[in-house]
Structures are given as C-alpha cells and as structure tokens.
Structure 1
Amino acid sequence: MSGAAVRVGVGTRFLYEGDVAEVVEMLSTAAGNQVLLKDAAGRRFARVSVRELLTSDRARVIPDGPGPSADDPVDPASVVLAELIDPERQHVLERTAHVREVLTGYRAGAAELAQDGEPRREYAPNQPLYDRYAAKAASPSFWTDGTPASPALHGALLKRIGPRLNPAIQLRYGTATPTPCRPRCGHRETRAASIPSLFWRGWTLRLNPGGLFDPLPYRQALSVLLHIAGLGDLDYAAARSLLGLPPVSNAVCPYFTKKLRQAGAWEPVVAVLSQLARTLDDHPAPIDYGRRRRWRRLCAATLHGTAWRAACTQIRYRSSERQERFARLHLIELLTGSHPCHFPPPLTLSPSFDGEDYTTFVFARPAQLSAHLHQQAQTLLRHLRIDEPVTWEPPFDWVGTRRFSEPGKESPGTALPSEHELRTHIDDGLRPGQIARLSGCSRQRIGKLMASSGIGPPAPREVLRTLDPTWLREQYEDNHRSFADIAADLGIPPSDLARHARKLGLAIRHGVAAHKHILADHGGPAAFSTTVWAVFASRGAEQRIKRFLAIPGHPDLNHAAKHLGVRTARPPAPGPPTRARCRRRTPGHCAPPWRHQADSRR
C-alpha cells in the first residue's frame, strides 16, 4: 500500500491512553473539529480535538485493514515521493512510464492516453509479455548510463514475472530455477544427442507424483520437455522429430502441464528439468542417443537366437517364438532408448495386441536373461567400435530433486493452520477438503484439528451415538421425512444416517416413498385425513394438485390445459363406469380433472 492516509469519522477506532476508544460523534466548534469517544463498554468518556488525536502521542489510530502504521520503521511510499525534488520526481515518472509500456504497451498505461507512435511494434499488447520484457531490457534508453541489463538483473526480473508466463516460456527461461536466464539457440541437435526418446526410468519415478501419469506417454513427454528447456529455437513438434518420436497433436503437452499444475507438481518438475538441461549442456551424456537412433545396425539389431535359446535352456526357462521376438525388441530398446511402439515396420509393436504381454515380459523375465540381453547389446556396440555403456542415467545428485507427497498425505514438516485461520476458512465457505489442499495437510488432520477446536460441524459418529432411536423412528416412519431432510437438521451426511437406521431395524422406504412427503412439514399424518395424505403421497401429486387449483377461472378444460402447457386426455368411452375404471383412479376417487372431460360449470 503506497498511501499513508486514514479515514477519521464515526466508527474509527483509536488506542487512546491505553484504552480502545471509538468515535461516536463529530462536532464542529469555534476551536476546530472535535470528536466524542466511547470506550469498549459503550460509555462516553472523552471529547477530544481531531488534531490532538492525529498528532498526540497519547492516541494512535487502529486501522481496519492492511497498510502503513505510525510506528513502522520505514516511511510509506507516499511520504518518500512527496520529499523528492523535481529532477528526482521526473526520473521516477520516466521509469514508471517504462514499466507501464512493458505491461500495457502504452507509457501512460491506457490506450485512451496513447502518445504519437504508440504502441510501438516491440511493445504491442498482442506481443508476448516476455518479448516485451526482453525488448525493454535490451533498450539503452531504459538505463541511465546506456548500459543494458546484466545477466543477474535479467534473472531477478524473470523470477518476478515467471508466474505470469505460460508453461512453455517458463521452461525456456527456467523461471523455476534459482538463476533464470535467456534461452540459448543453436543447440537443438547437441541436446537431442544426450536425451533418449523415453525419459530415464529412475527419474520418471521421482517426477511422477503419486503415480499420476501412465509411465509410457509420460516418459515421452518428459523427454520432449527436457529437450525444450532452455532453448529458444525449438517447438514441441520439432523436439519430437529430433527425438525420433511420431508427430502428435500440440495439445498433448498442455495436457500434461495442466495435470501437473492441478497436482501442485509443475514448479518442481520444471525446476528439475531446467537444471538437468543445463547440466547436460555442460556435461553431455556418455551415450550418443542420436547416433543410436540413426544407425540401422542398432535400431534394427538382430538377436543372437542360438545364444538366447541356450541361455533359456540353462535356467530351464520355457521360451517361444513370440518371446524371442520380444527379446529382440527389448534388445533394440536397450540400445536406442526408444519404445518398440515407435520402431519402424516390421518391428513395430502393436500396443493393443502385444503391449501388455511385452511389458510383462520385460518386468517378469529372470535376472539371468536380463544380463544375457545386456551382454549381447555390449557385444554389438563393441563390434561397431562404439565405446559407450549400454544404458545410463544422470546421477540424482546432479540437481536438487524433490520427493512428492502421495495424494491425501501431507509432506513432513507441514505446519498446521491456526484456529483463527481455520475459522476464517470456514467463514469463507471452504470445506475441510479444500482447507486441507490449501494448507498442505491431510484431510484427516484438518478434521481432527477442527473437532478439537470446536470448529465446524460435529463428527457424525458422535451425533449418531447420542441420537434417540424413538425420535428417528417417529420422524422417518410416522412423519414420512426423508433421510436427507433429517440429516440436514442433524448436520451429518445422509448416508451415515441411513446406515444407522438400518442397524436400528427401521423399514427403509424405496422409490417414490423414499422421498420426503409434501405434507410432512405441516403436521404429519395426524393433521390430515387418510384420503388427503394418500393423495399427496403418490407420484406427481404436488404437480397435479397445483394444476387442479389453477383450473378455476378458465371457460373449459381445453383452455386450462393450453394455459398450463399440458394436454387433455381423451374422454372416457360412454357407458357405466366399470370396476377397473374406478380402480385406476387415485385413492378417494380424486382423479386429476384433466384425465376426463367435464362441464366447466362443475
């Protein structure tokens, strides 16, 4: 808050001579404006001039909102600006105009006050915010000595505007890292050579909060995001192409970023990917994944079938032609870092027919066969004179990773909200689950804290323990109230009340009878005749009665039906009423009047 002004009038509270006082009346006298004060008990005890209240050490204003106070260690902005001389004030106005131009495109802050030539092309409102920021940071006119911003200042400004940028820009500039910086260009092929098509499995487990995503598509997305991190000349489609992944819709990346934001994991994932990308640029991976994806001797490697069958026989493992095909596909996956679903024909694995069986083969095969496939891959690399390990993952100590808490569980060291904060959340209409997500605690702890503090509704178990069974039976069976209506009065969920009623042996109503009776709030069955109570208990009774009461005043039933927006039924066939026809009428022979034609004078 930049202003130091405070409203003084009826209702303003002061700390006067150590007591809380409130202004109840303002008086205008020859000596100046005066106020009449009352204490907390409502007694009028002092008549003080306004000047003394505002300048004397005996009085102090109690603000009703956030803002500067008289005992603050620093002066508010309005006081500092008022003390500036003309050259200093002009310098502040010039700097403010630069900031407004970045945010709005206009130095005055609005299109209605646009100057000649505004908005300039680099600061047009349709330009991305980071482009406008970069143009202003590189402009010599922004700096008093004509020197552009230093990298440290760039990083500090990027840290401040990072939350306002879209996810792709946050990833390019690394706004979630301790040192954001401008993206690099010309390193797309070099970066792609250090990244496999499928993100490293160990890192995927650390960056998949609570198993939120399916591993296969999530590993692909993480590889693409790692490729984009810190690079300014690469988009999502080009990154997939360089990583050997098939083209897909650009909406795939926003899908993952949206789910990560909802899980509260976007910032940690961006921080890890940005730091990992910078470390890979300084220390490239010992495996050239780009070469392995290009060389046919590797991306279409052949399994040594005789050696594979001999290894299976040695450990008495029953192999088949299909499993031998899976072994070849996994050998290629070890060498290239790609999944068989993306291999070129005829090696392509069908996810619908073979995907689940292939996954079972990979994770359930004996350790001896895993070592055998690893040995075959190492032998093939040696024959091609490639001095690289078969597989590799970046060490976990390269970047400071964060372990995500499981859904519904709180992280260690999470501070519980205070009783005042809990009451504020309840007054704002928040439910315990929303308070738990807001504070980072589990719902169970929030529930226990509310119960111990006497905040919110009581626990259903305590309410049901003290509930009188006779009263419940009377309300449900005799007065025909629904469980939802009774539970609303008790402040507990209807499902808990229904479960308790079954334990008590109450006859549970089903269908239309399970709903609350229309006349239940007007005295119950004892206040009405049996016929009236039965008529209002049938399906659609309330609607029929309302229509019946709306008929008087119309010339005939056709006119009434047209006015009510309903149709009239066909008139009954001539002849004496039969027993079946009478049986179809509602109890008490109160059939709806639009079911038959009648004289409008009746």
Structure 2
Amino acid sequence: MLTGADLTDPRHPLVLRSAADRSRYFAFPPSLTLDQRDALNQHALRILDGLDINEPLTWEPPGDCADGLDLPGRRLDDIDLEAVRRIVITEQRAPREAARELDTTLTHVRFALERVPREPREWGRSSAVGSWRLRETAKSVLTADFLQREYAASGKTLREIALETGIPRHIAAAQARAVGITVRRTRQPFPMDETWLREQYLTHKRSTLDIAEELGTEDETVRRRLKYLGVPLRPPGVHSRTPS
C-alpha cells in the first residue's frame, strides 16, 4: 500500500511468496477503517516530503480516457458501495460472491471495499493487537518505581498486581524483567521471627494452632516453618498448652 509495488512480480523483494501470504494481504486492506487508511496515507506523504519528492502519493489517468474500450467489469466509480458492504461485511460472504452478484470482477470488489466505511475492529486481549496494547499499557503503568514499591518492597505478588491493574501476570512479569526487577519464582514465605517461633513452641509449649491464630495465618503454615527450621513437631494434644 505504501510502495505501490506489484506483489505478484517475483523480482520484487515484497513479492507474495505463497497462497497464505496472498490471502493475508488481501484480507488486510479491507479491514482498515477510513480513518486508519487516511492515517496510513498521511504517513506515506510525510515519507515523500522527507525525501524531497514533490509528487502525489498515487496517480491514475482520468476514467474517460478508457471510454469506448471493452473492458471487463464496470467502471470503478459505478459500484454500489452499500451493496458491497451488505454482502461482504454485514452478511459475511466472500468478495467473490459479491463480484458474481454485482456482475463485476473480484478486483473491482476489492477496490470498492477500500472505500466502504466500517467500524473499528474490536480486538480481543489474546489477539496480536490486543496483546501489543497490553504490553504498551504495561510500559506506562508498571514502571520501575511502581514495581520496586509494590512488588519488591511491599511484597505483593504479580498475580495481585495483575488483578489491580488489569494487566495479565505474564505481561507484568515480562515488564518487571525489562525494567530490571528480579521476578520471584515462588510466593514469598509468610514472615515469622525464627527466634520467637522457637521460643513460643519449644519453651512455652504453645500449639501450632495458637501460634497461627496470633500470626493470622494457617496452622499448616506454622508446622511447615518449624519443619524447615529442623524443630521436631510434638503430637497434638496434651503436650501443648494455650497461654492464659
């Protein structure tokens, strides 16, 4: 679209090399809104201006120069754009069907589709465009200062940050690495003072349940920490007591 290249010419570096390439290319131009197409044209004009090329972006001879010639299809300005829109966009039928119904060629229909107004496409979060938008959002929201404060210093998990910001965890993790934040592979352990824990369990004979309730965590969390510290666990019951 920017070069005006003949993409069927095998000598051109941008040549369409497969049927899949061709299908993707012909599906792309009609997907653009008129505003997007105008933005693309303005970008191309800026390229020409930057190269000091004082020429129009595109040019074609006036249509009446072909008057009297027996050409396939109808004139390009004699295509019912609303009919093309109904068949291809509303009814989701193939452009080839539109060409057959309107008694014209597939090239004419493709030309018409570039002039049919359409609503901007809604891109899903998992699409290439949706993923790109999320990554761009992550760059502006998950800054180095933000992640240092919320993740490294405050101890929030990436899952919590993802829920708060609406940015998926895997993108948050990639952004953290990009700004130099070390990503924890596992969740941070529940904070416990090891000396205090030993004293409460061994000296004061408190149960793991009592200790857990004071700390605001689970009984099993305390038991796992004691095992990690090498403290033999007592059988529950009479060997433990609750402080009065």
TM-score (norm 1): 0.14
RCO greater where, 1 or 2, for CA within 8 Å and sep 6 or more?
2
Question: Computing the radius of gyration over CA atoms, which structure comes out larger, 1 or 2?
Answer: 1
Higher strand share: 1
TM-score scaled by structure 2?
A: 0.31
